[in-house]
Each structure stands twice: as C-alpha cells, then as structure tokens.
Copies of this chain bind each other. A is one copy, B any other.
Amino acid sequence: MIVYKDSEIYIETEESQVPWLKIFTQEPFRELGDMPKELRRRLWEVYDIVEFYMNFYYKPTKINMASFGNMLPRVHIHVMARFKEDNYFPNPMWGEKLRDTELKLPSQEQFHKELHKALSNQFTSLQADRRKSGGERRKRN
C-alpha cells in the first residue's frame, strides 16, 4: 500500500508484525552514491520525518533502518519499529524468529494518516495533487 507520494519520493508499507515502511525514490538508483546529492538530502529528510513519527506514535524499543536491494538492485530504505516482545527482537527482521507473540499496537491506519499529513505539510511544493487542495501552499509561509 502507498502511504505517501510526491514527484521525487514514495513510501510503501511492508506486510509484517511490526510497523514497517519502505521509502523509494521515483527515479531508480542502484546505490545511494549514484543518487544526485540533492535527492539524497531529500531522502534523509523524508527518513527523519518517518523515524520521528514512528517513534512518537508507536514508542518502540528501537527503530531499525536498512537498504539492501539484492533481489532488485534499486535503492529503497526500510524503516521498522521494533519492540522487545516482537517475534524477532533483538535479531533484525531478516534474522531468526525467536518467539510467537501478538503485539498490541495502536491503529496503523491512523499512523499512516498522520504521517501522510506531516509529509504533505513539509513537502507541499512536491505534491502532485497540490492544486486540488487550495490551502496547502499557504501553509508553507
């Protein structure tokens, strides 16, 4: 599911026990170093907001971040909220499963809504649909 998109970036959900998002650039790049500096700066700006809201909303034990792209060599940043009682902790989500617990987490739908709002407010000028919402541009000032 797409949680956010603009002309440079989009964010997808990954199906998992833990909150897990993937940040992609619209234009594909093999490695982080292949990306124009300005876009990389932008990618980390988006990452910051995702990390901040994940921390704020879920109060996880730790945020995990990774960029592999071994199957498909296209940079995308995984961002995961980890909890000491989740099935893999303290292993990475790609590691050995250690238990089988049910996590009680606040509504994912609400999290996606709040994150979308935060990103849209921050990056108004990059929203493809900015003309549909007349108030958006003024918020920047």
List the interface of chain A (C-beta within 8 A of B): 30-33, 40, 44, 47-48, 51-52, 55, 61-71, 73, 82, 89-92, 94-95
Q: Given A33-B52, A47-B32, do A64 and B65 touch, yes or no (CB 8 Å)?
A: no
A-B contact pairs, 26 of them (CB 8 A): A31-B55, A31-B62, A32-B51, A33-B48, A33-B51, A33-B55, A40-B44, A62-B68, A62-B73, A64-B66, A64-B70, A65-B66, A65-B67, A66-B66, A66-B67, A66-B68, A66-B92, A68-B92, A70-B82, A70-B89, A70-B90, A70-B92, A71-B90, A92-B94, A94-B94, A95-B95
Q: Across chains A and B, which 9 residue pairs bring their CB atoms closest together, nearest first?
A: A70-B90, A66-B66, A92-B94, A94-B95, A65-B67, A33-B51, A94-B94, A64-B68, A71-B90
